Amino acid sequence: MEPYGEMFSLKGKISLVTGGSRGIGLGCALALARSGSDLCIVSRSADQLKEAADRISEASGHRVFTVCADLTRLEEVERVYQATLAEYGRVDILLYAAGTNIRKPFLEITPAEFDLIMSLNLRSVHFLSQMVAKGMIEQGEGGRILLICSISSHMGLKNASAYASSKGGVFSLAKAMAVELADHRINVNSISPGYFRTAMTEHRFKDPEQIKWMTDRIPLKRTGLPEDIGGAAVFLASPASAYLTGVNIYVDGGWTAA
């Protein structure tokens, strides 16, 4: 039996990380690279991609390929996957962290806003995962698919009806994929972060009352940072989690346990 350190190694693996230029996606990408994986990271911003790629390469010494794309468009989803194959020839790990939110009351969300959230947070997750899974089946060596959900997948939060709907869909999608892809040795799991300080949530951290509201509900008495999520990502991407599929890990400081 190999040493436990080796069980967490991703040496020789290729990871495709969407939303990998900032926030939770960047935290996961850094952790995967430090554990031995080469990467393709995807974002809408070319400048953010370059900055993130330089940071990951400097921190890990591993190769980082970037693709600038709008994943709300399915033709762009296909382009991302094909570009990754052209660069590396394979994908062993997919980590889907790209996402968006429009914080509005349920009674005010418009159809256009709902469709935008769903197109990035759920539809593109489904079809990029489908493409990657087909490639993994052709490779014949199994693989790992990790989907970023949210605690809003599991509990009611104000001003998040469309976002929660999309992330609840991702939570259910991970379980359905886990069952269907198990015969091909493709493990599919999800991670549900709690409140993390990222560019998407920064506005909430400018309000002391919002910070107090969050920390009062978190047993560890602090909100998350992008680096807090990397350990869960590495575990689920590595041989150490070989017998886990269809599982969701809460990375929320204890919020959902309280």
So which residues are the catalytic ones? Answer: 163
Tell me how far apart the alpha carbons of residues 220 and 255 are, in angstroms, rounded to a whole number: 8
What region, left, alpha or beta, does residue 19 occupy, with left being phi > 0 and alpha being psi -120 to 50 degrees? left
From residue 183, give the alpha-carbon distance in Å to each of 98, 178, 206, 247, 253.
Answer: 28, 9, 48, 17, 34
**Interior CA angle at 66 toward 231 and 18, to 5°?**
45
**Interior CA angle at 154 toward 148 and 159, to 5°?**
90
The answer to whether 189 touches 232, Cβ cutoff 8 Å, is no
Other CB atoms within a 10 A radius of the CB of residue 22 amount to 20
From residue 65, give the alpha-carbon distance in Å to each of 18, 21, 25, 38.
Answer: 12, 12, 15, 8
Tell me how far apart the alpha carbons of residues 36 and 32 are, in angstroms, rounded to a whole number: 7
